[in-house]
Amino acid sequence: MKYSYIKPRKKSVVSGESQLIFSFFSITLIMLFLTYFFLFFKDYRFTQNLQEIQQRKIELEANVQKMNSQITFIEKELLLSESITTKNTVLKDSIANLFDLVPQRITLSQATLLKNGLILHGITPNKDIYNFMLQAPLRSIFHRTYSSFYEAENGWLKFVSTNYIDEDELSLESPRYEEEKEVSDED
């Protein structure tokens, strides 16, 4: 039996307005929380990345330091090798110059090259040839030159020429010599 002519409207626990408000706020809150979690996660990642970068920087720094010390050592080796090569070449030139210095009429029987001197043993036809052709150039090279003669069986003269360079005077003449001396002293 019907008591009314109109259809009954459906009633729900939550009204339409409430639904609208709830859905609006829930979307807003979800968006806010999502943004917050996104920022929070990003912060966490940034901290992690920063730590990784710092670690990598420390590793790189140690690596560079190691490589630099290797480079320094190689440069040291090259410098030493270069100085030895130069020393050998200079020695070769010095010996060549020494033998070129001796005139054909004088014959050497022994030559001793010292660090700061030269001792020559030989035979000369006479003192004049020795004095003009050997002693004069030796005097121009060495600071102190001593010669002694004694007669040979064939009437020629045997001689011993001892020549020294004063290292003190040399260092005054050329400051570079002092550096070379220090290097050779170390050698």
Give the footprint of another protein on this chain (CB under 8 A).
15, 17-18, 21, 25, 28-29, 32, 35-36, 39-40, 42-43, 46-47, 49-50, 53-54, 56-57, 60-61, 63-64, 67-68, 70-71, 73-78, 80-81, 84-85, 87-89, 91-92, 95-96, 99, 108-115, 186-187
Q: Least distance (Å) from another protein to the CB of residue 161?
A: 14
77 vs 173 by CB, closer to another protein? 77
Q: Least distance (Å) from another protein to the CB of residue 150?
A: 17
77 vs 132 by CB, closer to another protein? 77
DSSP string computed for the chain? --S-SSPPPP--SS-HHHHHHHHHHHHHHHHHHHHHHHHHHHHHHHHHHHHHHHHHHHHHHHHHHHHHHHHHHHHHHHHHHHHHHHHHHHHHHHHHHHHHHS-TTSEEEEEEE-SSEEEEEEEES-HHHHIIIIIHHHHHH-SEEEEEEEE-TTS-EEEEEEEE--HHHHHHH-HHHHHHHHHHHH-
46 vs 132 by CB, closer to another protein? 46
Q: Least distance (Å) from another protein to the CB of residue 94?
A: 10
Q: Least distance (Å) from another protein to the CB of residue 8?
A: 20
